[in-house]
Amino acid sequence: MRKPVIAGNWKMNKTISESIELVNGLKRELIDIQEVEIIVCPVYTALSDISDLIVDSNIFLGAQNVYWKTSGAFTGEISPLMLKDVGCKYAIIGHSERRKYFNESDQSVNKRIKAALREGLTPIFCVGETLEEREANKTTDVVKRQLSEGLEGLEKEALLNLIIAYEPVWAIGTGKTATPEQAQEIHGFIRSWLVENCSEEVAESLRILYGGSVKETNIKELMQQNDIDGALVGGASLDSSSFVGIVKNSLG
């Protein structure tokens, strides 16, 4: 059985005090939920305070990116060691906004994934096609390339510690969610790719999250699909009651 994951990607939002307020609300409302792995990914400046706040709770901490070197002259970057040090268990890697605005490539995503795994962080590895690619019927080609290049050279055992997020770019922040069937089609494709290229064991145990305009009102239907194991939530994770609603409605 794959434990469902609901992760909030706060993107570049919230000051430290706003982050604390949000997490206090989540702690109050979600205290009894053990059946879902709940993750929040605040901005770097809030990580330390949020880490202290969620110690011994059922909420876990993730970062929104990670560099592949441990330390050194890399102005503006942050290493896996530093993220572990502040209490992160997860790191989002290869988000489409990083690929689009900061020129991250499949190759640099691969380095980040390897470095995160080496340090014991669980990567939340994002893949997904643009609207143009979907309309040109290239969705599975794009996702296949992102998977094979992003996971290139990784041992099968390492892949057991990975989470994949399928986020169609056209559904991010647009209010246009993929239909449960559209999402399931690609989730199923990703799982078959894992069977062929990794192993049955990896494919069976790895969680595949859907991301793109997830809300309280659509999470239930998405979670009913065979290969959807949770969600990576942007906008709706910035408000305590909507994120709580998503977590609760994901329970089926």
Report the C-alpha gap between 127 and 147 in whole angstroms: 7
Structure tokens at 105: 């490539």
Site for ligand 13P in 215-244 (CB under 6 A): 232-236
Asked whether 92 and 111 are in contact (CB, 8 A), the reply is: no
Catalytic-labelled residue, pool 37, 133, 167, 187: 167
- Greatest C-alpha distance within the chain: 48
Report the C-alpha gap between 13 and 46 in whole angstroms: 10
> Is 173 near ligand 13P (CB under 6 A)?
yes
Q: Among all residues, whose Cβ is closest to ligand 13P?
A: 234
Catalytic-labelled residue, pool 37, 95, 97, 187: 95
Ramachandran area for residue 137 (φ above 0: left; ψ -120 to 50: alpha; else beta): left
Q: Is 201 a catalytic residue?
A: no
- What mask, x for binding ligand 13P by CB under 6 A, covers residues 84 to 103? -----------x--------
Tell me whether residue 151 or residue 219 sits nearer to ligand 13P (CB atom): 219
Q: Is 132 a catalytic residue?
A: no
User: At closest approach, how far in Å is the CB of 78 from ligand 13P?
Assistant: 18
Q: Which amino acid is at 8?
A: G
Q: How many residues comprise the chain? A: 252
Q: Catalytic positions, please?
A: 95, 167
Which residues are near ligand 13P by CB under 6 A?
Answer: 9, 95, 167, 172-173, 211-214, 232-236
